[in-house]
């Protein structure tokens, strides 16, 4: 299972999202590879991903970039809220 | 690896910012004063938001201003700006912003550990409010659990 955390530039915010998504997976007792990506690299990164985590601000651009990928785009409001991320991941992966 | 040092020069308490651009510029000036970046870096942080939107407002009240690594980044750096009046960045859920954290990294790999430390701080939902009300740089450093370091 592969999850991608996306932000505009691929550092900073996507890294925070990756760290907190790892904490959420641990809480859910699930294992997955989580990579961080920038918007420019998302089409390639998403090819074999199940879930793409991003903000609601970037979600439309992500959907456009990945085209007909099987990955589900999940919008996170608070990047530090492990409860929120756990709920979202449980819904997508469960 | 811990968070980068946060010298007094990298902290601004109660800044008056008319809009999000001047709030980000304040964080850019703090990064430059502390020796982490050249002044151009502020323009690049603003350009990221102009291009991609207010997604940098990653939690209620908190903006993480940053740009890609570049020649204007002299070393990894962190800045904290608290705003006297909250400023709207245009985020649908997390506005208005009370605290701007400026982040500069020299390469994409080195920052992952320090970002994890930042996550530890902000996993506590009360952290943004406490930072917003901090009275000085020492209190900010205490809340973030980091050293002052030489500018």
Q: Has residue A21 been placed in a domain?
A: yes
Q: pLDDT tens for residues A9-39?
A: 888 899 999 999 999 999 999 999 999 999 9
Q: Which residue ranges make up each domain of chain B?
A: 8-144
ipTM of the complex: 0.89
Q: Has residue A13 been placed in a domain?
A: yes
Tell me the CATH class for B8-144: alpha beta
Q: Residues A17, A5: contact at Cβ < 8 Å?
A: yes
Interface of A with B in 46-65 (CB under 8 A): 54-58, 61
Q: pLDDT tens for residues B88-142?
A: 999 999 999 999 999 999 887 777 777 888 888 999 999 999 999 999 999 999 9
Interchain pair A55, B55: CB under 8 A: yes
Report in angstroms the alpha-carbon separations of B129 from A28, A36, A77, B123, B126. 29, 28, 18, 13, 6
Structural domains in chain A (count): 1
Furthest CA-CA distance within chain B = 38
The parent domain of residue A18 ranges over 2-81
> For residue A16, what is the domain's CATH number?
3.40.50.2300
Pick the residue of B68, B119, B124, B126 with the most A CBs within 10 A to test the interface with A by mutation: B119
Q: Residues A53, A4: contact at Cβ < 8 Å?
A: yes
Q: Has residue A87 been placed in a domain?
A: no
State residue B70 phi and psi, 5-degree precision: -170, 180
Residue A21: which of A45, A37, A3 has the closest Cα?
Answer: A3
3-state secondary structure of A54: strand
């Amino acid at each position: 299972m592969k999850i991608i955390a996306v932000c505009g530039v691929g550092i900073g915010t996507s890294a925070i999202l990756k760290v907190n998504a790892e904490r959420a997976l641990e809480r859910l007792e699930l294992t997955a590879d989580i990579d961080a990506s920038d918007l420019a690299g998302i089409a390639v990164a998403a090819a074999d991903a199940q879930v793409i985590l991003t903000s609601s601000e970037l979600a439309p651009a992500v959907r456009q970039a990945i085209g007909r990928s099987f990955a589900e785009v999940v919008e996170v409001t608070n990047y530090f809220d492990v409860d929120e991320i756990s709920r979202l991941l449980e819904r997508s992966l469960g | 690896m811990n968070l980068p040092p946060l010298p007094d020069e990298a902290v601004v308490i109660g800044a008056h910012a008319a809009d999000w651009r001047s709030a980000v510029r304040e964080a850019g000036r703090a990064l430059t004063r502390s020796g982490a970046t050249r002044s151009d870096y502020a323009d690049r942080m603003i350009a990221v938001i102009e291009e991609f939107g207010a997604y940098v407002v990653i939690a209620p009240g908190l903006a993480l201003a940053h740009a890609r690594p570049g020649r204007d980044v002299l070393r990894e750096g962190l800045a904290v700006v608290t705003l006297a009046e909250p400023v709207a960045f245009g985020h649908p859920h997390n506005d208005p912003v009370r605290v701007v954290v400026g982040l500069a990294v020299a390469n994409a790999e080195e920052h992952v550990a320090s970002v994890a430390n930042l996550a530890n701080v902000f996993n506590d939902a009360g952290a943004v409010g406490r930072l917003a009300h901090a009275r000085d740089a020492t209190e900010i450093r205490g809340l973030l659990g980091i050293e002052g370091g030489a500018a």
